[in-house]
Amino acid sequence: MSKDIATPTRTKEILEKYGFSFKKSLGQNFLIDTNILQHIVKASGMGEEDAVIEIGPGIGALTEQLAKAAGRVEAFEIDRRLLPILADTLKPYPHVTVHHQDILQADLRPLLEELRMSGKTAVVGNLPYYVTTPILMGLLEQKLPVDRIVIMIQKEVAERIAASPGSKAYGSLSIAAQYYAEVTQELVVPRTVFMPKPNVDSAILRLDVRSEPPVEVRDEAFFFTLVRGAFTQRRKTLWNNVQNSVMNKTYKEELQNLFSEIDIDPIRRAETLSIEEFALLSNRMYPMWKNMQEKAE
């Protein structure tokens, strides 16, 4: 058996063999530490009966470790130049399929439904910083048949996704991710274990996808409209942001009454509200907002 891909020597050998140069525009940073890759595989919880979709296999370092654990690996790679490299490095693993496709354009539902028939499913990936949020929220919002998502992303973004109310990192992204999944920050990954070395550290995040959201909301789209609106200007009060970004000023009196009825102080900042408080506010405000929309039509 050949040496693991995720070592500095083997990675350099592969890159030199194929004359591969990194594309900054694709956020390509390859991991050169097998222990961290094994941590990701362990966090995915995948076994021989289970299947993994991998986002951005690169030269196959993580793919190789996933293939040793899971029954099937479906890897999505956007960079055509990596296809011959993957065909070479993943030759020992016939249960790995590489798709040359942008994960943001892929219709994953049919594939995941098929994979789930034989066992659990996970989506795993070392995500480029510039597309972390669209990829993650795309996976969650589609409510795909996925049991777990394990991603390595910029440390600062991981902290925002996992943040609790009252912390500086807590915001609309925290609430959106935690509405769909239970979020655990697994491990901080130093920038020194990547080739080339990025400017920031990373973190591994595990998201256990919920079968039901933690709160009941009357209208999901409005719930997220309210949450985003409430965080429009972080330094402003909930009252200011809701009035300026969600409702219009003609509803001032109704809004005041609503806040006092549900016992949420409108001079609080959005970052202090729990997901339960946002759900309560959203459910009570929804008829008022709907009325405002109908009048505007």
| 113 annotated to a ligand binding site | no
| 29 annotated to a ligand binding site | yes
CA distance 56 to 46: 18
Report the relative pairing of strands 202-209 and 96-100 from DSSP bridges.
unpaired
Please write the tens of the pLDDT for every residue from 54-69: 999 999 999 999 999 9
pLDDT on residue 248: 87
Instruction: Compute the mean pLDDT over every residue in the chain, rounded to the nearest whole number.
Output: 95
| 126 annotated to a ligand binding site | yes
Q: Can you list the domains of the chain with their CATH numbers? A: 8-209 (3.40.50.150), 220-296 (1.10.8.100)
pLDDT on residue 45: 97
Tokens (6 digits) for 239: 């009252």
pLDDT on residue 111: 97
| 119 annotated to a ligand binding site | no
Please write the tens of the pLDDT for every residue from 115-165: 999 899 999 999 988 899 999 999 999 999 999 999 999 999 999 999 999
Does 287 sit behind a cis peptide bond, omega within 30 degrees of 0 on the bond before it? Answer: no
Question: What are the phi and psi torsion angles at 154 (to 5°)?
Answer: -55, 135
The CB density around residue 196, as the number of other CB atoms within 10 Å, is: 10
Closest CA relative to residue 124, chosen from 150, 161, 102, 158? 150
| 56 annotated to a ligand binding site | yes
Is the pTM higher than 0.75? yes
| 27 annotated to a ligand binding site | no
> Which portions of the chain are predicted below pLDDT 50?
1
